[in-house]
Every structure is written in C-alpha cells, then in structure tokens.
Amino acid sequence: MANKGRPRSEKAKKAILDATYALLLENGFHAITIEEIAKQAGVSKATIYKWWPNKAAVAADSFFAASTENFPLPDTGSCEKDLFNQANQLSGFLATDKGRIITELIAEGQFDADVANAYRSRYFKPRRSISRKILEQAIVRGEVPNDLDLELCIDLIFAPLFYRLLITGAETDSAFLKDLISYAFNGIRRRDEAAGQPGGRGIHNARTSRKDVE
C-alpha cells in the first residue's frame, strides 16, 4: 500500500512546483501566496507544508526545478572573449522574466538562509565553475599569470554587473560588458607590470584591447 501512495505524492509535489513557477513568472515572488499556489496546484496548504516550510522555499525549488541548464565551457581561444560571452549571456538572462525571479530570490535570501544557500549552490556555483575553468585555460595558454587568486578574479569580473543590476539600475548592455571585461582582464593580466607604475597604464591598455572582444 505504501508503494502505491508514493506516485500520488510525487505527482502532487510536481503539481505544486509547476504551479509555483507559473505564478512566479506571472506575478513575481512577493505577489504570490501559499493559498494561490495550493489553489492552482489542486492541493491543500497542508500538502505544501509537508515538503516546504514557507513560500520562499517552494519558490526557490520551483525555479531551479524548471531551470535546469547545461553549462558548456566556452573556448574561443581567447580568455577575454570567453569571459565576455559568459557575462553577455548572464546579463541577457537577468533581463528576462526568469532572470527577475533570480533577483527576487537574492533579495529574499537576505532573510532566509535556506533560499540563499539554494541560489548559491544551484545557480551561481555552476556558473562560477565555468568562469574558473576559463581562467585556468588562460593560465595554460600563458594569457594570465599562473599565481592568480581565481575566486577573487571572478568576483572582480562579475561584481560590477550585479552592482548595476541590484543597486544603481544602470545599463548592463554590450558596450558596458566589453569595457568591463577589458578593464578587469587587463588588470588581471598586467598586474605585475602595473606594480610600481602609477598613472593609468592599465586603463590605457584596457581601452585599446577592447577591440579584441568586438
């Protein structure tokens, strides 16, 4: 008898996830309620609370269940181009309705550690892994020094994108991303040369090398 009950439970769980994801896309995180999710899924609120402690938890699970992606490793032969392509893809995604959900989950994660852990491990960690591999390829090719703090480099490259997205609201278009990658990449690549040479040499190199990603 227990085995016969399990498929029905899994069917109800899937209905809840599907309903939550549809409501997230339509109304956004803050506009939906457990009551709405239960109604659209055709289950009771108690059934939802059987698996999730709150709305944020079911919202996070519904998003990541519906947003499975492959993460191919870009390899154009140029670290700068690969990083630009990755940043451009991320920026384009964040401008969509699905991307809006991620920003809402980031906000909710400031109050719910489980939600924060979910988007860090299931959304950002795979993307950071690709960035790390791009930089590791660059080290092998001799494009950048071999003693880089790779995690810090990833922060340096992508933090300005999220700063604009979450704080200033300024554009994150292709022109911005080209400058961002050029400035960051040249700072990484030439940091040894720049040591002891004040006066903006890194900025000059970033501007001239921007053509490399065009």
90 and 45 in a common domain: no
How far is 123 from 78, CA to CA, in rounded Å? 25
pLDDT of residue 2: 35
**Per-residue pLDDT tens listing for the chain (214 residues):** 334 445 558 899 999 999 999 999 999 998 999 999 999 999 999 999 999 999 999 999 999 888 766 667 888 999 999 999 999 988 998 888 888 999 999 999 999 998 999 999 988 999 999 999 999 999 999 888 888 899 999 999 999 999 998 899 899 999 999 999 998 887 776 665 654 444 443 333 433 344 555 5
- Domain ends where: 37, 64, 91? 64
200 and 98 in a common domain: yes
- Of 175, 151, 153, the closest CA to residue 164 belongs to 175
- Domain ends where: 10, 38, 64? 64
10 and 43 in a common domain: yes
The whole model's pTM is what? 0.76
33 and 8 in a common domain: yes
How far is 211 from 15, CA to CA, in rounded Å? 49
99 and 60 in a common domain: no
